[in-house]
Amino acid sequence: MTIKTLIATLVAATALGGLAQAESHAGTDNPMVGGAAMFPDQTIVENAVNSADHTTLVAAVKAAGLVDTLNSAGPFTVFAPTNAAFDRISDDSLNALLQPEAKAQLTQILTCHVVAANAMSDAIAGMIMDDGGMHSVETVGGCTLQARMDGSEITLTDENGREATVTIADVRQSNGVIHVIDRVLLPAQ
């Protein structure tokens, strides 16, 4: 099964459940992501599977065996690349990453998007200001991201100089927070 087939299957399976949940989302003050309600009493994985914008990320998390970790108590801050961010990677490279023999590499890439803390955007912005305009962010995967402000938006630069922008901030979860980003970040190459 190719990544595109897997993604199409995931989108179809989650679309039906998302409609019923949207009605009960209204009082949470949590942003919608990928057309789906995000519930602060659900885990990162429980919410992410409902986002039409994160089907590739969910498939990658499953392939890397990280579902149990991201369903655990945390807390975690996840910088969650969208499908469009993954589309910047060639289909061949992405399919290769999802193979069992590439699990260690995929795990490192994904955990370079995870911080072992609950860091809301105002706290990140405060750390950036306190550190003179740039704050180093240590990830679970051993990567160091550089957080900066670009106007009112937070940007993250990986160890290769690739920059991602937080497009949706502060999506509260029961075990942390998700910040949606527009690019896949990579460990030093």
CA distance 170 to 8: 27
Q: How many domains does the chain have?
A: 1
pLDDT given for residue 158 in this prediction: 96
Q: Where is 103: in which H helix or E strand?
A: helix 103-111
Name the residue among 113, 65, 114, 66 with its Cα closest to residue 86: 113
Question: Would 97 be classed as within a structural domain?
Answer: yes
Which CATH number fits the domain that encloses residue 49? 2.30.180.10
Whether 124 is covered by a domain: the verdict is no
- Residue 88: pLDDT over 50: yes
pLDDT at 3: 47
Decide if 18 is inside a domain: yes
100/113 Cα distance (integer angstroms): 20
Which residue spans within the chain are E strands per DSSP? 76-81, 114-115, 135-138, 144-150, 153-157, 163-173, 176-181
Please report the pLDDT score of residue 131 as a whole number: 96
Task: Encode pLDDT of 91-136 as tens digits.
Answer: 999 999 989 999 999 999 999 999 999 999 999 999 999 999 999 9
Residue 60 domain-assigned?
yes
Is 13 inside a domain boundary?
A: yes
Q: Is the pLDDT of residue 168 over 90?
A: yes
Strand partners, 157: 146, 163
- Residue 188 covered by a domain: no
Model confidence at 13: pLDDT above 50: no
Residue 87 lies in a domain: yes
Rounded mean pLDDT, 29-48:
90
| Range with the poorest average pLDDT among 11-20, 23-32, 59-68 | 11-20
pLDDT class of 5 with cuts at 50, 70, 90: very low
pLDDT exceeds cutoff 60 at 86: yes
66-80: string of b/e by CB count within 10 Å (b at 16+)?
bbebbeeebbbbbbb
Say if 134 falls within a structural domain: no
Q: What are phi and psi of 85, to 5 degrees?
A: -65, -45
Taking residues 23-44, what's their average pLDDT? 78
Q: How high is the pLDDT of residue 28?
A: 59
Q: State the pLDDT at residue 1.
A: 43
CB 127 within 8 A of CB 146: no
| Confidence band for 18, pLDDT divided at 50, 70 and 90 | very low
Domain of residue 78 covers 3-118+168-181
